Amino acid sequence: MIRESDAAYMAGLFDGEGSIDFTKRKEKKRSGTYNCRRVSMEISMTDQSVIRWVHEVLGVGTVVKKPRKGLRKNGTKYLMQWRWRCTFRDAYYVCRVMWPYAHTKLPKIQQVIDHYSQEKVIEGNVVSLNEYRKAMSLE
């Protein structure tokens, strides 16, 4: 379980350095064109230790080097950036962790939580959120 102080720190970090993509797009698949939801969260920064800590504490997502492009006006290279990123149900889990402490990103966090809060039936497949919550220790 994540400590309250860690969750609050992460929410503040995410409010300042993070982003949430919660969009509906048309995507072509082999069987046709569908309206799909894309849910992703990420934090990018030059301090690798903070990004690794976020990944370690949350236990979800990936950490990658973000490629440097170009030079600054004075001709020096940009610092290497690191990115932590998670998608879909992992993003839902992270939103549930940060929700009580978030401010700036709260409307988007609430959208993600609302999207995953009810059981959904998609082409006859039932996604059991209760089982998912138990597995992720949300309840």
Superfamily holding 4-135: Homing endonucleases (3.10.28.10)
Q: Taking the model in full, what pTM does it have? A: 0.75
What pLDDT digit, counting tens, does each position of 66-76 carry? 888 888 889 88
Q: Where are the domains of the chain?
A: 4-135
What pLDDT digit, counting tens, does each position of 93-134 carry? 999 999 999 999 999 999 899 888 864 544 445 555 566 566
In the sheet that holds 32-45, the strands lie side by side as 18-29, 32-45, 81-87, 62-66
- Split at pLDDT 50, 70, 90, the class of 10 is very high
Transcribe 30-44 into DSSP letters: TTEEEEEEEEEEEEE
Q: Are 85 and 64 in contact (CB under 8 A)?
A: yes
pLDDT of residue 9: 95
What pLDDT digit, counting tens, does each position of 53-90 carry? 999 999 999 999 988 888 888 988 888 899 999 999 99
Instruction: Return the structure tokens found at 9.
Output: 């720190």
β-sheet bridge partners, residue 127: 120
Single out the residue of 85, 107, 83, 109 nearest to residue 96, CA to CA. 109
pLDDT of residue 139: 45
